[in-house]
């Protein structure tokens, strides 16, 4: 057997642990395993330059490291690959070329480590006849079929630490601190880190917020003698009127704001008279050494993917349904988004603890 493995999209803590586990498990079965450089890019390059033979020496001691030894330079879409000719960029379909190269390498299966986008591409390749299994990677935890994706726990850890840190500054300076975290479609990072970090307001894409309700919460706290508040906002949180990211700076003038966090801080400052400051955690959430839980999850994902291949259960994603791993069809995984259910007890817990979601 000869396995290929690639990783696509943004960074997520645990990638190297997945690669480590898949490699060691494959080698133990006496199989050969090869990494593809930069998504599918390595399959478009001539010779061996786009391939990384995975050996025990190559993956030794990488499980606790951030990043990925395979690289994930932006590749573009295999079905709509950007090509620049004569100064103009257009897209072409290179999927057949990739499939051809897959066969040329006498590969028996591909392990795709990726998020929503990578799963959609994998689904199409699988339909074209490429035997593959997927491993769910996204710090946003918004993939269906699995309770958790790897990278999420680390992101929550980073965000919780940051929120915890900012508490005392907020309190000493009687300020509102707005912490912008990742989460375009799902509010998991904001919800978990806000709950763990002791936020007063959490804004998530699943619940439209109204600025009035944020201000109401801040005022309620002031009335009970607490002169500071912590707002945690997922980057994808929405207000009913939409999120125009501009600030009026004078007669007819306006300044473009960096993001939702900055906008909310400015609005709070303007309307409440309180000092408000923003911190945007950005790439810090993706980067660095995975937490113990992300390491364990990643190692299990990698090992189980090899197991699924041994059982020829292609077209599936490894899904974590505590306490065990199981196979979940990629075709189903790409049909939905794992958003925070409005009736989940974790949301109830947050509301019971007095956290406002800006909706009431």
N- to C-terminal Cα distance for the chain?
58
Q: What is the distance of C-alpha 83 from the center of its chain?
A: 27
Among 99, 211, 245, 284, binds a second copy (CB under 8 A): 284
Q: Which two tokens stand for residue 213?
A: 């309700």
Among 272, 288, 310, 331, binds a second copy (CB under 8 A): 288
> Of 83-91, 96-104, 211-219, 351-359, which part binds a second copy (CB under 8 A)?
351-359
**Please, what is the minimum distance in Å from the beta carbon of residue 130 to a second copy?**
24
Only segment of 42-50, 77-85, 116-124, 344-352 that touches a second copy (CB under 8 A): 344-352
Which of 72, 138, 229, 339 is in the footprint of a second copy by CB under 8 A? 72
Under rule CB under 8 A, residue 169 binds a second copy: yes
Q: Is 184 in the site for a second copy (CB under 8 A)?
A: no
Residues 298-327 that bind a second copy (CB under 8 A): 299-300, 303-304, 306-307, 321-325
Handedness of CA 229, 232, 233, 238 (dihedral sign): negative
DSSP H helical ranges for 211-253: 211-223
Hey, is 5 helix, strand or coil?
strand
250 binds a second copy (CB under 8 A): no
Asked if 344 is part of the footprint of a second copy (rule: CB under 8 A), the reply reads yes
Alpha carbon distance 33, 235 (integer Å): 38
CA 318 vs. chain centroid, Å, equals: 17
Cα(14)–Cα(150) distance, integer angstroms: 6
Residues 136-165 that bind a second copy (CB under 8 A): 147, 153, 156-158, 160, 162, 164-165
The two most distant CA atoms of the chain are separated, in Å, by 72
Of 140, 153, 200, 294, the catalytic one is 140
User: What's the min distance (Å) between Cβ of 177 and a second copy?
Assistant: 7
Give the Cα separation of 10 and 28 in Å (integer).
30
Stretch that binds a second copy, among 82-90, 125-133, 211-219, 274-282 (CB under 8 A): 274-282
Of all helices (H) and strands (E), which one includes residue 296?
helix 292-310
Helices 292-310 and 152-172, interaxial angle, to 10°? 160
Please identify, using beta-carbon distances, which residue of 34 and 72 lies nearer to a second copy: 72
Q: Is 258 in the site for a second copy (CB under 8 A)?
A: yes
Question: Nearer to a second copy by C-beta: 129 or 246?
Answer: 246
Decide if 140 is catalytic: yes
β 32-36/51-53 pair status: antiparallel
Least gap, CB of 270 to a second copy (angstroms)? 17
Which residues are known catalytic residues? Answer: 140
């Amino acid at each position: 057997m000869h396995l290929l493995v690639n990783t696509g999209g943004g960074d997520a803590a645990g990638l190297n642990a997945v690669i480590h586990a898949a490699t060691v498990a494959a080698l133990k079965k006496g199989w050969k395993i090869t990494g593809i450089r930069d998504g599918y890019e390595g399959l478009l390059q001539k010779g061996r330059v786009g391939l990384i033979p995975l050996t025990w020496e190559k993956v030794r001691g990488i499980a606790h490291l951030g990043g990925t030894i395979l690289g994930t330079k932006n590749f573009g879409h295999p079905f709509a690959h950007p090509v620049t000719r004569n100064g103009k960029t257009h897209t072409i379909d290179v999927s057949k070329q990739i499939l051809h190269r897959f066969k040329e390498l006498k590969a028996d299966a591909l392990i795709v480590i990726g998020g929503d986008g990578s799963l959609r591409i994998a689904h199409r390749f699988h339909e074209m006849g490429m035997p593959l299994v997927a491993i769910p990677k996204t710090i946003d935890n918004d993939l269906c079929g699995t309770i958790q994706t790897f990278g999420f726990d680390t992101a929550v850890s980073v965000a919780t630490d940051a929120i915890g840190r900012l508490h005392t500054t907020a309190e000493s300076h009687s300020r509102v601190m707005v912490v912008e975290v990742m989460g375009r479609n799902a509010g998991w990072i904001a919800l978990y880190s806000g709950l763990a970090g002791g936020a007063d307001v959490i804004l998530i894409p699943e619940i439209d917020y109204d600025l009035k309700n944020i201000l109401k919460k801040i005022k309620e706290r002031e009335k009970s003698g607490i002169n500071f508040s912590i707002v945690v906002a997922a980057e994808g949180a929405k207000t009913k009127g939409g999120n125009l990211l501009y600030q009026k700076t004078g007669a007819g003038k306006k300044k473009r704001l960096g993001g939702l966090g900055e906008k909310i801080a400015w609005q709070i400052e303007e309307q409440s008279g309180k000092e408000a400051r923003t911190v945007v955690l950005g790439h810090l959430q993706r980067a660095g050494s995975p937490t113990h839980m992300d390491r364990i999850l990643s190692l299990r994902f990698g090992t189980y993917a090899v197991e699924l291949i041994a059982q020829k259960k292609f077209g599936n994603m490894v899904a974590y349904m505590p306490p065990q791993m199981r196979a979940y069809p990629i075709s189903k995984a790409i049909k939905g988004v794992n958003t925070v259910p409005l009736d989940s007890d974790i949301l109830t817990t947050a509301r019971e603890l007095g956290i406002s979601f800006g909706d009431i």
